[in-house]
Amino acid sequence: MTIQSRNILVVTLLSVLMVTAFSSVTLAQPGESFSGSKIPPDMPVDALQLNKTDITPSGEMESIQAMKTKVFFYRNFTLMMNSTENCALNMTLDPQVRNRLLTLSVEPNQTMTLAMNVSASPPQGEAVMENNLNFYMGIEPNADLQLQSQLRLYINQTELSQELGREVNASRLTWMYWNQTQSQWTPVESQMDQNGYLVCNTDHFSTWTVAEYDPELVPENIHIITVVGLVAIVSVASIYMKRKKK
């Protein structure tokens, strides 16, 4: 092979490698789907991306270095996480949870280990929340610690409505946690940000979900209950008056 032929071959191989690398980068652009996992629209340019779209994690151990953002692309699920302290994450995902993009920011007062279990149904002993998004997230730290955290779930109203088979009202979506003391779901102030995330802030971890919630919404059967109550009152009053006349 002549020197000229070798040079042509080298240039050709380099061109192929450059095209391949460019194609790989363009697959992971914000707003698109990456092997079934969503790309965070606000993913930092220096975020460390881990392509694990070939697995549904079960007890998968991950490490998050302090002050560094990591993005885990699992099968049909994306987790973008950062912490002000080093964190070891034990990640388990229910295969029934699909197409969810979650971001978690934590400011703990010490290094920590978190066990995260994302499922389509609540843990045993906890009630099913009506009009939820088939999404429950249990987070348990390995020790008592002080922390501030922000939870964000990416909301695509059209996709959610198609997936759940019902019209999802994004304006009513709210983060809620399971209150063990009261044995009920407790809503937390939530709002949509400019990137399409439903956001809430918290100082504790437990089981969390997102559901349509409106405290001012009158139950659909309130009128039936009212009528039944009035009939009962009138009946009792009528019987009382008849007895009084006797």
The residues of the chain scoring below 50 in pLDDT are: 10-11, 14-31, 218-234, 236-237, 240
Q: Is the residue at 236 inside a domain?
A: no
For residue 245, the 8-state DSSP code is H
CB within 8 Å of 241: residues ≥ 6 apart: none
Q: How many whole angstroms separate alpha carbon 176 and alpha carbon 136?
A: 10
Domain identity same for 48 and 25: no
**Residue-wise pLDDT tens digits, 42-59:** 999 999 999 999 999 999
Q: Within this chain, do residues 45 and 91 fall inside the same structural domain, yes or no?
A: yes
pLDDT for residue 16: 40
Do residues 197 and 138 share a domain?
Answer: yes
**Block residue for tokens 């978190």:** 114
Q: Are residues 84 and 59 in the same domain?
A: yes
Tens digit of each residue's pLDDT (9 = 90 or more) over 218-239: 444 433 333 334 434 445 445 5
Q: Which residues are 81's β-sheet partners?
A: 70, 104
Whether 173 and 104 map to the same domain: the answer is yes
How far out from the chain centre does Cα 90 lie?
16
Q: Is residue 246 part of a domain?
A: no
222 lies in some domain: no
pLDDT in the model for residue 2: 63
CA dist., res. 30 & res. 101, Å (int): 12
Q: Give every CB contact of residue 131 below 8 A, 6+ residues apart in sequence.
A: 211, 212, 213
Residue 48: inside a domain, yes or no? yes
25 with 125, same domain?
no
Structure confidence at residue 214 (pLDDT): 86
pLDDT at 160: 95
How far from 128 is each of 82, 115, 167, 207, 223, CA to CA, in Å?
Answer: 29, 21, 19, 12, 25
Q: What confidence score (pLDDT) does residue 245 get?
A: 55
In this structure, the strands spanning 112-119 and 87-93 are parallel
Give yes or no: residues 160 and 64 share one domain.
yes
**Separation between Cα atoms, residue 197 and residue 189, nearest integer Å:** 14
| Same domain assignment for residues 111 and 26 | no
Cβ count within 10 A of residue 90: 17
Only one residue has tokens 């939530």, namely: 190
Please tell me whether residues 15 and 89 are part of one structural domain: no
Q: Are residues 99 and 179 in the same domain?
A: yes
SS3 123: coil
Candidates 37, 41, 43; CA nearest to 93 is 37
Is residue 65, in this structure, part of any structural domain at all? yes
108 falls within a domain: yes
Total count of domains within the chain: 2
Q: Note whether 46 and 66 are same-domain residues.
A: yes
Owner of token pair 């009939």:
231
115 and 14 in one domain? no
DSSP state at residue 122: P
- Give me the domain span that covers residue 141: 37-212
Q: Is residue 56 part of a domain?
A: yes
221 lies in a domain? no
Determine the pLDDT at residue 88.
98
DSSP of 155-219, one letter per residue?
A: --HHHHHHHHTS---GGGEEEEEEETTTTEEEEE--EE-TTSEEEEEES--SEEEEEE--TTPPP
